[in-house]
Amino acid sequence: MSNLTETLDALGLLCPLPVLKARKRLKSMPAGAILRVLADDPAAIIDVPHFCSESGHQLLSQEDTEGHQVYLIQKSG
């Protein structure tokens, strides 16, 4: 299991862009790697967990910080 973590800065992007960019980034990452997504679109609070359950990736955490959300998504596989 890799603990490789990458950060995707999706601040200022409106849905579905944060999810589309997360999907694209996860594709190039090894299984078990963790993607940290920064987003400030209110819809991301619904869209990111939904994306994870649809795609099989694991949403490790979701937190609010300084006016945006931070999601940790572990790539399935």
Name the residues annotated as catalytic: 15
Beta strands in 1-67 (DSSP E): 5-10, 34-39, 58-65
- The two structure tokens encoding residue 73: 């998504």
Under a CB-based contact definition with an 8 Å cutoff, are residues 36 and 72 in contact?
Answer: yes
